[in-house]
Structure 1
Amino acid sequence: MTGKLHQLAALLRDRDELDARIAAFTGRSARPGDIGEFIAAQVFDIEPAGTAVQAGYDGVFRSGALAGRTVNVKAYGDALAGIDISPHPCDFYLVFSGPPRPLGAVRHHQWQVSAAYLFDTSRLLETLAGRGVKIGIATSIRRADLDAARIFPATNGTSLLRLTPEQTALLNLFGAHVI
């Protein structure tokens, strides 16, 4: 048993070193949410909030159709498991999601962007309230909610934002096919 603990301690030290490198690069922590915020800022021209703990939103779109609007960025292994909706106001939620969670045994869930969703907060809250959904941590959403808000890898006809080929290529860097 102690051999396994020594191995685990060494692996955690290695992970801590890598997390420190990521944090130094992004200027924030290496937590999935902070990495998602960094990626969103680069891909969508978002001015990050002055602090990583800004109430309600993580940044403001600097350009494009959403310029001047606030956004709360979320990164999840699987967005269908629910999204955290803050009581503090923001205009949009930008959600990065990995692939659906595997059923069965616990295993490593790689950090990847399989899909991105952009929700208009007021419309989302209205939809959820109409269904009687409790708003807060791990707010339950339906597949149809995600499909309506999807902006990556493909958009639907009512999407709030159409990605440029460059934005699509940048998000593809974090896809499942990348090794």
Structure 2
Amino acid sequence: MDNLSWLASLIKSRNTIDGKIADLIGRSAQINHVGEYIAASIFNIAFEEEGKRRGYDGRFLQGPLAGRTVDVQWRLRHDGLLNIRLDAYPDYYLILTGLENTSSTLANPWSIAFAFLFNAQELLNALKERGVQIGSGTSVTGPLWERAEIYPIPRNTRFVLSDEERKMLFLFNQ
């Protein structure tokens, strides 16, 4: 019974925190909604109204990608997987991930250890060349991830983060 009481207390605390997050971001406290809020704040992305967009979340407002569409995904673990729709895809995928799946823990902390920017057309071409099944949970090889990395190591020179953007991402690193 003690464990059940403790669990009930923890769930109440979580519900309180989720409510505060939802109030802050103006949407439910789901991982992708929070990720979109973080991305909009750091990368200056304007998100379009749900239901009015197809295959993307919003557009970059400034910099070298201004006006380009982007799909933002926040994955709790850097597990090599992406969700890709073939019927409608963005110009870019911005992927935020936690650490690689090397831990034996059952917990999946909400953290951002890496950020990646994929050109969607180039990514799709590379996946098709390899004969990869494309859809929800598409497996992307390590070299593609490495070339797309913008944080913490700026390997992708198409989008170089400012010191301020790097500091903001670091706030979410576990």
TM-score between the two structures when normalised by the length of structure 2: 0.93
Cα distance, 1:53 vs structure 2: 8.4
Q: Which residue of 1 is the match for residue 160 of structure 2?
A: 162
Relative to structure 1, the CA distance from residue 100 to residue 129 in structure 2 (aligned partners, 3 Å threshold; closer, same or farther) is same
CA distance in 2: counterparts of 1:20 and 1:47, whole angstroms: 24
The alignment covers a number of residue pairs equal to 173
Answer yes or no: is the 8 Å Cα contact 1:119–1:149 preserved in 2.
Answer: yes
How far apart, in 2, do the equivalents of 1:117 and 1:13 lie? 34
- Normalising by the residue count of structure 1, what TM-score does the alignment of the two structures yield? 0.90
C-alpha deviations, 1:82-104, integer Å up to 9, x for none? 11112322110000010012343
Q: Partner of 2:79 in structure 1?
A: 80
Measured against aligned partners, the alpha-carbon deviations of 1:5-58 in whole angstroms (never above 9, x if no partner) come to 232122112101100100110112211111110011011110012128843111
Alignment of structure 1 residues 137-152 onto 2, 5 Å: 137-152=136-151
User: Which structure 2 segments of 5+ residues have no match?
Assistant: none
Q: Distance in 2 between matches of 1:137 and 1:130?
A: 18
Matched, 1:28 2:36: no
Q: Distance in 2 between matches of 1:108 and 1:97?
A: 15
Counterpart residue type for residue 117 of structure 2? L
Structure 1 unaligned runs (5+)? none
Partner SS state of residue 14, structure 1? helix
Q: Is the 8 A contact 2:25 2:34 kept in 1?
A: yes
- Give the equivalent residue in structure 2 for 1:62: 61
Percent identity, aligned pairs only?
34
Counterparts of 1:46-57 in structure 2, within 5 Å, are 46-51=45-50, 54-57=53-56
Which residue in the other structure is 1:91 paired with?
Answer: 91
- The amino acid that maps onto 1:23 is A
User: Secondary structure in 1 aligned to 2:118?
Assistant: strand
Aligned 8 A contact 1:97 1:116 in 2: yes
Q: Quick one: distance in 1 between partners of 2:109 and 2:123?
A: 28
